[in-house]
Structure 1
Amino acid sequence: MSRPHDGHRPFFPFGNPFRMILPKGSYLSPKLLALLNSFEENLAERLKKLKPKDRGEVLSLSWLKLAIESLCETHSDIKILITELQFPVSDWDEKWMDVYLDNSVKLLDICIAFSSELSRLNQGQVLLQCILHALDASIAFPSSEQLVQARSSLADWMELISSRNPKLEKCCAILHGIAGSLYLPKAKNSAKGKVLMRAMYGIKVETIFVCSVFMAAFSGSVKPLMDLHVPDEFFWAEAFTDLQADVNGESKMLFSKGNVTILKELEAVEMCSKTLCTMIDEGLGSAEARTLQNFILDFGKRTERLSQGLDLLSKEVEGFFQISLTGRDALLCNLRVCGTDSDLNQGNNGVVRGAL
């Protein structure tokens, strides 16, 4: 899952102080440089940990869970960075503010769509439990009535997973809108602003990448995937490029094979369901009793893995939604405070943004 490189990147144990996208003549104090390097080093390490060890990890619920956990940690890091920078919201450029607020709304919409899809897939667990109940592995051989019930539930479940969630259809355009704001104007006359903009670039790249993979996995389409180019000047560029190449490359290969169900755990249950449908349709005799019992046991294990994976991922997506929401609320609260203070000092010429 690795790819060759043209050369070796120089190693800096505490980050590379020369890898800065800043205008000539710009200066960062040792404190600001340390804060920025720490943020970028942490981001690079997270991206390296997300790199799949083998092809089977790509587009699995377990990998998606790790990806959203990583994203939560990076979003938490940006809050810590802003606090340590002691960079008040009142000093933010209006362009940064407008883009941030716009993107935060879009990100919340995407989280809602993801939660909706996970909820929809979780509904299918009821049908899977009905199948397992009808085909109890402890029974030597199910009755014809039980087989009919199981076959009906199998058809309902397969119809559910083959359908598409309309909320996901809008997400692709929303995500491309966020990608369109990836490259912001450079911060002027503010060393802290330059550090913040560089860190914000990193968090947006990771957010776009992770969300695009989520959408591809949920929608069964390659369209959401984006190949983002990160300049070499960023300390985490190589780690991101490697990760993106592996995950997007493997995902596109799966789609090229005509796979509709891409999520690994979901695909495992679907394959078992199709085989079970064939077995029931073709008729089962008493001679196949042992084979059927073993098959039902395997089906139950796959169903359990799917159920656990969906539950864990749902919790992580909810956590990411809360992080995004609280971050936006905190910013708006600070803006109102800034606006109120300004109004008190300047009368009707106060900062309008306080009304947000």
Structure 2
Amino acid sequence: MLFVHKDSHRFPFFPSSPPKSPPASVARRFEDALTARLAELLPLLESSPSLAFSWLASAVHLLALTLSDAADLLSDISASERDTVAAYLDSGVALLDACNAASAEVDRILRRRLHLRFSLHLLSSSDDGRDTEKLKRALDSVAEWRASPCRAIKSSAVDLVRSLSPAALPRGKISAARRTIYAVEAVSFLVTGAVVAVLGGGGLAVPSVPRDLPWAEEYQKLATAVSRKLAGDGLAPELKATEAAVKKLTGVVDEIQANGDGQKSMSLRKAVDITEKATDKLTEGLDALSSAVNEVFHSALRLRSTALQGFRVGSQRCK
């Protein structure tokens, strides 16, 4: 995907001028906002066997907001905090790489879906199944859909997620910058891990976070719920619904070909309609996820730029 620059939105309660409140107070407001956002992602739908693309898009959007808020909070890095922020730069690169991997897989699924679109077009114009040539071409197109793996994200993406796991917080008093970086890493690990698990299959083991953090309880609730959803095959419900619709559609077309008449015209129209709706839902979820991943990519770049700016400013002050 070609990422297009978008203007970042500042966190509403952070003024454009340097805040007068102590850094710890600003960090607490950042943490309180994160707590509220994590709570908004719960509860997960009991009717959904796994995590939907639409839900993942909301979670990824939360990550983008968290990164943007962190950039605001860390925009004025003191000399004593530069090492703390420097430690994040490597995981920041891993997050960018994970975004690229997720984006590439979403694009691949969207391209794969085009085979279904073409098949549905042929069936809709097949004179209720009487045009045998279009029926054959439609089935060939469905075969192309089935031949392509439904999930094929690069295995290296799993390693990228592991590298996002937050380092343990030191004991004693923790600086506002360190608390912020820890929150960014923890949320990045949970959200990116969920995306990679759904796109590539597999579960998600999320480490516990210190209970004294304001957002810890909501984070653990969400992490537990996400892990349970991924305990099975983890296939997104939009993909499952599409696969089920295609299977039924193929059965109807096979019957029409076997009978050689138009007795199944009503069944064909119904099956085409169900498959079109499932495909539209799949497209909607994938488009939303793609847009959210794009947003995270730009927010991550902004946070990285903020961190590097602190070093540039620091070096100028030393002259």
TM tier, shorter chain? 0.7 to 0.9
Contact 1:137 1:296 in 2 (8 A): no
Please say if residues 54 and 286 of structure 2, whose CA atoms lie closer than 8 Å, have aligned partners that are also in contact: no
Note closer, same or farther for the CA distance 1:156–1:174 as it changes in structure 2 (3 Å cut): same
Q: What SS class does the counterpart of residue 161 from structure 1 fall into?
A: coil
Q: Work out whether 1:92 is the aligned partner of 2:81.
A: yes
Aligned-partner SS, 1:286: coil
Equivalent in the alignment of 1:135: 123
Larger radius of gyration: 1
Deviation at 1:323, TM superposition (A): 1.0
Give distance in 2, aligned partners of 1:136 and 1:61.
28
Equivalent residues of 1:266, 1:306 under 8 A apart: yes
Query: How far apart, in 1, do the equivalents of 2:306 and 2:56 lie?
Result: 28
Larger relative contact order (CA 8 Å, sep ≥ 6)? 2
Q: Contact conserved, 1:55 with 1:250, CA < 8 A, in 2?
A: no
Summarize the alignment of residues 251-330 of structure 1 with structure 2, pairs less than 5 Å apart.
251-252=230-231, 254-255=232-233, 262-282=235-255, 283=258, 285-330=261-306
- The alpha-carbon deviation at position 281 of structure 1 amounts to 3.2
Q: Which runs of 5+ in 1 are unaligned?
A: 1-28, 346-356
Question: Which aligned runs of 4 or more in structure 1 are off by greater than 6 angstroms?
Answer: none
TM-score, normalization by structure 2:
0.85
Between 262-271 and 156-165, the greater mean CA deviation after superposition: 156-165
Figure out how many residues of one structure are paired with residues of the other and give that number: 296
Counterpart mapping for 1:114-193 below 5 A: 114-136=102-124, 139-162=127-150, 164-165=152-153, 168-179=154-165, 181-185=166-170
Corresponding residue for residue 20 of structure 1: none
How far apart are residue 142 of structure 1 and its match?
Answer: 4.3
TM-score, L = length of structure 1: 0.76
Q: C-alpha displacement at 1:304, in angstroms?
A: 1.0
Q: How far apart are the structure 2 equivalents of 1:30 and 1:97?
A: 21
Match of 1:72 in 2: 64
Q: 2 CA distance for matches of 1:186 and 1:178?
A: 21
Q: Which amino acid aligns with 2:55?
A: W
Residue 228 (structure 1) aligned to one of 188, 203, 207:
207
Distance in 2 between residues matched to 1:148 and 1:133, nearest whole Å: 13
Rounded to whole Å, the distance in 2 between the matches of 1:195 and 1:170 is 33
Residue 188 of structure 2 aligns to which amino acid in structure 1?
Answer: T
* Aligned-partner Cα distance in 1 for 2:214–2:311: 32
Q: Percent identity?
A: 27
Where does residue 223 of structure 2 map in the other structure?
244
